[in-house]
Amino acid sequence: MPCNQNETRLPTEDPQMTWDDATWILTSSFIIFTMQSGFGLLEAGCVSAKNEVNIMVKNAVDVVFGGITYWAFGYGLTFGQGKYANAFCGVGSFLLDSENEKEMGIVYSTFIFQLSFATTATTIVSGAMAERTKLTAYILYSLTNTWVYCVSAHWLWVDGGFLRDLGVVDIAGSGGVHVLGAVSALVAAVMLGPRQGKYDGGKLDPPGNPTNSLIGMFMLWWGWLGFNCGSTFGISGGKWILAAKSAVTTITASMGGGVSGMLFSWIINKRKFVVTDLVNSVLTSLVSVTAGCAVIRPWEAILSGSLAAILSFIVNPIFKYFKVDDPVGAFAVHGIGGIWGMIVVGLFADIDPIEDVTRGRAGLFHGGGVYLLGVQILALVCIAAWSAMCSIILLSIIKKAVGLRMSSEDEILGADYTEHGLVKFDNGIDIKQNKSRRRSSFGFQVFHVN
Amino acid sequence: MPCNQNETRLPTEDPQMTWDDATWILTSSFIIFTMQSGFGLLEAGCVSAKNEVNIMVKNAVDVVFGGITYWAFGYGLTFGQGKYANAFCGVGSFLLDSENEKEMGIVYSTFIFQLSFATTATTIVSGAMAERTKLTAYILYSLTNTWVYCVSAHWLWVDGGFLRDLGVVDIAGSGGVHVLGAVSALVAAVMLGPRQGKYDGGKLDPPGNPTNSLIGMFMLWWGWLGFNCGSTFGISGGKWILAAKSAVTTITASMGGGVSGMLFSWIINKRKFVVTDLVNSVLTSLVSVTAGCAVIRPWEAILSGSLAAILSFIVNPIFKYFKVDDPVGAFAVHGIGGIWGMIVVGLFADIDPIEDVTRGRAGLFHGGGVYLLGVQILALVCIAAWSAMCSIILLSIIKKAVGLRMSSEDEILGADYTEHGLVKFDNGIDIKQNKSRRRSSFGFQVFHVN
Amino acid sequence: MNNTTLIPVVTTKAQAMSWDDATWILTSSFIIFTMQSGFGLLEAGCVSAKNEVNIMVKNAVDVVFGGITYWAYGYGLSFGDGEYSNAFVGVGQFLVDGDESSDIGQIYSTFIFQLSFATTATTIVSGAMAERTKLTAYVIFSFLNTVVYCIPAHWIWASNGFLKTLGVVDIAGSGGVHLLGAVSAIVAAMLLGPRRGRYDSQNKKQLGNPTNALVGMFMLWWGWLGFNCGSTFGISGGKWILAAKSAVTTINASVGGGVAGLIYSFIVNKKKFMIEDLVNSILGSLVSITASCAIVRPWESIVIGAIGALFVVSFCPLLDRLKIDDPVGAFAVHGIGGIWGMIAVGIFGDDDKIERITDGRSGLTHGGGFYLLGVQVLAIVCIVGWSGSISFILLYLINRTIGLRLSPEEEDLGSDIVEHDINTVSRYLDGCQLQVNEQMTVRRSSFGIIRR
């Protein structure tokens, strides 16, 4: 930064951003976008092989259709500062454009960063809807789902939003991204009903590719560093210290979660380390540190991450009892992790003398009393209610209009064939009796429907 | 960069960090963490399909269990500045936490950066132990292995460490990361003995997936840029120039290595380009430039990278003679590359007028005499001896306690089944004769052993 | 507080780089290099399984052999500022070594950034040559092909290049990287001829591994943000504003392209969303915005992306009708997308008040008249002419000396076995090759690879 410039560019003098902040924000956004690849691979590895390509396409659809609506009205609903903006939602800046050179940089940086958040929130839902949802229905859902995220983001992160004014702390979105997405995911899973073969005594195709799930987990893990550290939204002043602290708490939380999750899995699965348990416990612990990454200590992160990982194990038996089918464990990871993450802030947050992230408040264990905890719980209730309500409305409308669920035959054939015309090579078929099929050694072939 | 602040924050005035440095260090650490994905894919592609998932899990275990011990005592052994800190190891800063706002940023940045290094050193070992090691034994090893890395890191990189005081130059860890890891890997491979079928006249399952190996190589390649350039540990002052230089020498070294490795492979393999040769030669050349990236010239990097790649070819016949089984070539890549990399500094290093990385010394070919070369060789001897000794002790204890090697049946079945309950679908078997198997079109199934 | 020593390069030039710029340039280059992984996966997913490993190796060859020649002479031909440097070609700084120069930081930063561009341009070609090219021929081509990229790069981006002097705007290389690579690609595809059996039957060939193709697309997508935003080549002054703007226009273009491509595919393919269409439309729209990322508005970028995507996906069948076999659609994506991207500058480009990228000129819709559009078209003609003719000469010479194409038997076997001794085929060709015995003793491989 050239020091011999006009003082007005300096962050400590003026809230304006410098290019140092821009470097940080843009780099973080680019890293966060790589999490889409991670989510895609994770989900593709969890579903059966006949839906693998389709779930990847759904992750692209999130960005494409979710992105266009975010540009059209999403950003405006969150950050719009028009005269009708209120405590509930922003108004203004629709069809985002900026001509004013002074604010252009800030507007565009905020947009790209927030877009990477918004697409993450919708991606969470795709996993819970896997293997049985029509792609057209999912596209419509991606188009409309944006406003669910945007309104609650206004509550949490924009000055004037009602939760923010109460003092809620959700640094990188345990509540605003993960709980929000997870509740939508749960609603979608319940409305769709379980996959054929899941709870009706039949047989379900097994998950396709654990290696891909693990690669997806790895990509998400490193992307999460960008997610949490980038949420300082700048690097100048004392923000770099918080960014460094966030990196440490994020990684230590994931270690705590990984250790406890693996041990727990080893114990309950009779000395086997189940891969999905490892993946889910690491990711749950990452979700749980997302709200408080800059305001808790490293050892607190280890503790809360470990607890989050173990808490996530309770979802499976409950879902089994209620016959809810969440193929990739979206609610276990993002819902349980997110709820616990918001509560962690109310328990462990400390006053932050550097950037005053908590606005002078501390959590229960640091002598701040129950106020912050109460606000965090209020935020959880508001987010969950909002997300559930909107999702029920949206999905009901889509169900009426085009239908949510594939036909039974389509579901058995798999979405890769029915939506994309791809046919996997079926190992159970005797090749010599199927001369008309062109073979491919990697499991795909052209299929001629007779 | 805070212009209107106290002068003491400015890098040229004072060694303290600014947020510009923090941006660089944090971004580099995030990039280095992506190398875990690369190592995972590389190793998963090299082992047979029945151990593919297991080796990915081992890479997650490295981070999770290695990370938690690094937090608990590893950082303190390297960087602790308590009153008992000495030339051999640091003491202090255990269970890392920081309350002091002035040093919090530096401590946390250093921790996250060094953690990414430490996890790399342990990951190297996992490849050499592939396909025959119990996962529980590996977890115990990951937990304890941390201190092997941390103590020698103190020698090399902390003021007061005895090798550093002698003037050793190992910028990004050819010795401290790669030779250290490779010697542990060699010890582990020898103690475990070869896989069944490797040297006993039987047949070994073929490597599973060369495509994955190549993707892994690509990820490591780009991650290495963050690894070497980030090791300037800052960007302010003249460091940015060294970072740019490191990027150029790193990439040119890999080109030299790739060219010579491919040509050599083509010649000795009768006009075939063997994929593992390509992968190993690129990676070996990257290891070889790691120690000297900022102090050698681009053409010297090409030369030393080419030599490193060719040197790595001699390991295979030697290992074959002694019946040492290193499934992914960990010693060839990291050991030979690392040893040569340390020597390269002694030969090619030049006085660095910008940040004085070599502390005024030059290598043999730049008129600095043999002093630097001698110190580099001394460092190699110390690191190798330390790593070998510690690994023998640790692995012997683990062997006594829980046993290192899988049972013979488990090894034939593969770790994916025995450790994680996953069974790959066997395409060659007529399914109708194996009703008990549930099919999956992409190669996984649940298998019931009768 | 105006201590000038704080600025790292004591200014010899007006716009010296600071370490802030270096952070940006280096980080961007690292991100751009990850696009090689993306190209590799995309192409590996598009070809049949018997050539999957080979195409990944080709992507490594690009970097290794293309890189070494870029170091030796490529950088010098583009950016050399020796005394013989002229409007057509740079001269100087061969065998890049920042020794005697005072601004070595700048040289090294520029080199690493430009190298990541140069390797991208050659990688484009590998896709069009897939499944039928000898690897040795490809190695030699990579070695020589650098010259094709470096000279137009001088025209477009070096301060004394003749197109630059005329005022061409190609911020991150719609023309200089993508169109250039695409023209080489189509020349190669025509010289090689179609793959065996490609146009024999009505069968439409399916992607070998659509999941990999999509993962590759994702990697390219995020890498593209580094590609376009990094092309501000710095972050200080007003550049950070343009970088942020470029990020928004890049992502918006891809969003527009994806929407247009999916709708097109849904209509044309009878309610199916074809993977090829999705991949090609998103990548095509990204190529389209590459030239103009910092000087168009967000809504214009959506339009540019959508039109680019429609051009690309509707062009693909046309090429097949001409029996030009381009296995991964390299020409459609990079060529058609690149041409449209260059033209889009002439139509939608606006004079930015921040860094004056367009030298004060504007495109057609912003009242700048036809001048900019004319220059852009001239640039397209020059690039196509140069890349087409030089690639043809190089490939023709290679074809005459060692031959470009695999023998028919080798092509049927696949490059993985022929070039690398890896047999991916046997499992499905005849399952009985595998020896079955009682327990789990079949030699298994879930991914289909066994070594003979």
pLDDT, tens only, C1-58: 333 333 333 333 335 678 889 899 999 999 999 999 999 999 999 888 888 889 999 9
Mean pLDDT of B6-11: 33
For chain C, give the mean pLDDT: 85
For chain A, give the mean pLDDT: 86
Are C353 and A101 an interchain contact pair (Cβ–Cβ within 8 Å)? yes
Give C336→chain B minimum CA distance, Å.
Answer: 28
Are B214 and C56 an interchain contact pair (Cβ–Cβ within 8 Å)? yes
Give C296→chain A minimum CA distance, Å.
Answer: 10
- The per-residue pLDDT for C443 is 32
User: Positive or negative, the Cα torsion across B58, B60, B63, B69?
Assistant: negative
Residue A70 pLDDT greater than 90, yes or no = yes
Give B79→chain A minimum CA distance, Å.
Answer: 16
Question: Which of B63, B112, B440 is closest, CB to CB, to A208?
Answer: B440
Are A421 and C269 an interchain contact pair (Cβ–Cβ within 8 Å)? yes
Per the CB < 8 A criterion, the answer to whether A246 and B108 are in contact is no
Q: Are residues B176 and B278 in the same domain?
A: yes
Give A263→chain B minimum CA distance, Å.
Answer: 10
Q: Are residues B380 and B413 in the same domain?
A: no
- The per-residue pLDDT for A424 is 63
Are A205 and B441 an interchain contact pair (Cβ–Cβ within 8 Å)? yes
Cα torsion B383, B385, B390, B391 to 10°: value is 90
Among B27, B62, B64, the strongest candidate for a mutation testing the A interface, having the largest count of A CBs within 10 A, is: B64
Among C222, C264, C303, C447, the strongest candidate for a mutation testing the A interface, having the largest count of A CBs within 10 A, is: C222
Q: Looking at beta carbons, which residues of chain C come within 8 Å of B209?
A: 447, 449
CB distance from B276 to chain C under 8 Å?
A: no
Q: Are residues A213 and A170 in the same domain?
A: yes
Per the CB < 8 A criterion, the answer to whether B41 and B213 are in contact is yes
Q: Which residue has the tokens 């969303």?
A: C273
Are C440 and B413 an interchain contact pair (Cβ–Cβ within 8 Å)? yes
Residues ≥6 apart with Cβ < 8 Å to B5: A12
**DSSP code of C91?**
B
CB distance from B433 to chain A under 8 Å?
A: no
pLDDT, tens only, A198-247: 888 877 777 778 899 999 999 999 999 999 999 988 888 889 999 999 99
Q: List, as ranges, residues 116-155 from A with C-beta within 8 Å of C.
A: 135-136, 139
Question: Is residue A412 included in any domain, yes or no?
Answer: yes
Are B2 and A203 an interchain contact pair (Cβ–Cβ within 8 Å)? no
Mean pLDDT of B204-225: 88
Q: Are residues B321 and B377 in the same domain?
A: yes
Give B387→chain C minimum CA distance, Å.
Answer: 32
Number of Cβ within 10 Å of residue A193's Cβ equals 15
Residue B2 banded pLDDT, cuts 50, 70, 90: very low
Greatest alpha-carbon span in chain B: 80
What CATH number is attached to the domain comprising B195? 1.10.3430.10
Per the CB < 8 A criterion, the answer to whether B422 and B53 are in contact is yes
Q: Looking at beta carbons, which residues of chain B come within 8 Å of C450?
A: 206
CB distance from A108 to chain C under 8 Å?
A: yes
Question: Is residue A24 included in any domain, yes or no?
Answer: yes
String of b and e for C183-221 (b: at least 16 CB within 10 Å)? Answer: bbbbbbbbbbebbeebeeeeeebbbbbbbbbbbbbbbbb
**Beta-strand (E) ranges in A369-443?**
423-424
Residue C222 banded pLDDT, cuts 50, 70, 90: very high
Mean pLDDT of C299-323: 92
Q: List, as ranges, residues 12-41 from A with C-beta within 8 Å of B.
A: 12-13, 20, 23-24, 27, 31
pTM of structure:
0.89
Q: Are residues B167 and B296 in the same domain?
A: yes
Q: Are residues A287 and A435 in the same domain?
A: no
CB distance from A7 to chain B under 8 Å?
A: yes
Kindly tell me the number of DSSP H helices and DSSP E strands found in chain A: 17, 2
Q: Are residues A120 and A165 in the same domain?
A: yes
Q: Are residues A47 and A184 in the same domain?
A: yes
Nearest-angstrom CA–CA distance, A396 and C155: 58
Q: Looking at beta carbons, which residues of chain A come within 8 Å of C217?
A: 60
Question: Which of C57, C95, C451 is closest, CB to CB, to B278?
Answer: C57
- The per-residue pLDDT for B15 is 53
Question: Is residue B222 included in any domain, yes or no?
Answer: yes
Give A112→chain B minimum CA distance, Å.
Answer: 18
Q: Looking at beta carbons, which residues of chain B come within 8 Å of A254?
A: 63-64, 67
Question: Is residue B8 included in any domain, yes or no?
Answer: no
Per the CB < 8 A criterion, the answer to whether B327 and B132 are in contact is no
Residues ≥6 apart with Cβ < 8 Å to B259: B306, C64, C65, C68
Q: Looking at beta carbons, which residues of chain A come within 8 Å of C229?
A: 26, 30
Are A428 and B425 an interchain contact pair (Cβ–Cβ within 8 Å)? no
Among C255, C354, C447, the strongest candidate for a mutation testing the A interface, having the largest count of A CBs within 10 A, is: C255
Are A420 and C273 an interchain contact pair (Cβ–Cβ within 8 Å)? yes
Q: Which domain holds residue B420?
A: 408-447
* Contacts across the B-C interface (CB distance below 8 Å): 215
pLDDT, tens only, A264-286: 999 999 888 999 999 999 999 99
Among A209, A420, A431, A433, the strongest candidate for a mutation testing the C interface, having the largest count of C CBs within 10 A, is: A420
CA distances from A325 to A145, A166, A190 (A): 21, 36, 8
Question: Which of B240, B269, B298 is closest, CB to CB, to C8?
Answer: B240
**DSSP code of A157?**
H
Question: Which chains does B contact via 3+ CB–CB distances below 8 A?
Answer: A, C
Per the CB < 8 A criterion, the answer to whether A409 and A388 are in contact is no
Question: Which chains does C contact via 3+ CB–CB distances below 8 A?
Answer: A, B
Question: Is residue B150 included in any domain, yes or no?
Answer: yes
Question: Which of A60, A425, A439 is closest, CB to CB, to C278?
Answer: A60
Residues ≥6 apart with Cβ < 8 Å to C369: none
- The per-residue pLDDT for A19 is 86
Greatest alpha-carbon span in chain A: 79
Question: Is residue B105 included in any domain, yes or no?
Answer: yes
Residue C416 pLDDT greater than 90, yes or no = no
Question: Which of C33, C64, C419 is closest, CB to CB, to B255?
Answer: C64
CA A157 to chain centre: 17
Residue A102 banded pLDDT, cuts 50, 70, 90: confident
Q: Are residues B282 and B430 in the same domain?
A: no
What's the total number of domains in chain B?
2
- Judge residue B7's burial from the number of C-beta atoms within 10 Å of its C-beta, 0-12 exposed, 13-18 middle, 19 or more buried: exposed
Per the CB < 8 A criterion, the answer to whether A343 and A377 are in contact is yes
- The per-residue pLDDT for A437 is 34
Residue C258 banded pLDDT, cuts 50, 70, 90: very high
Task: Kindly identify which residue of chain B lies nearest to residue C70, measuring between CA atoms.
Answer: B252
- The per-residue pLDDT for C204 is 60
Residue A14 banded pLDDT, cuts 50, 70, 90: very low
Per the CB < 8 A criterion, the answer to whether B36 and B224 are in contact is no
Among B10, B42, B218, the strongest candidate for a mutation testing the C interface, having the largest count of C CBs within 10 A, is: B218
pLDDT, tens only, C192-216: 999 888 887 655 667 888 889 999 9
Residue A157 pLDDT greater than 60, yes or no = yes
CB distance from A202 to chain B under 8 Å?
A: no
CB distance from A201 to chain C under 8 Å?
A: no
| Of the candidate ranges A418-422, B183-187, B228-232, the one whose mean pLDDT is the lowest | A418-422
Are C64 and B218 an interchain contact pair (Cβ–Cβ within 8 Å)? no
Task: Kindly identify which residue of chain B lies nearest to residue A247, measuring between CA atoms.
Answer: B112
Q: Are residues B279 and B220 in the same domain?
A: yes
pLDDT, tens only, B240-284: 989 999 999 999 999 999 999 999 999 998 888 888 899 999 999
Residue C446 pLDDT greater than 90, yes or no = no
Question: Is residue B354 included in any domain, yes or no?
Answer: yes
Are B219 and C115 an interchain contact pair (Cβ–Cβ within 8 Å)? no
CB distance from B445 to chain A under 8 Å?
A: yes
Task: Kindly identify which residue of chain B lies nearest to residue A238, measuring between CA atoms.
Answer: B19
Q: Are residues B414 and B396 in the same domain?
A: no
First to last CA, chain B: 68
Are C37 and B20 an interchain contact pair (Cβ–Cβ within 8 Å)? no
Q: Are residues A393 and A438 in the same domain?
A: no
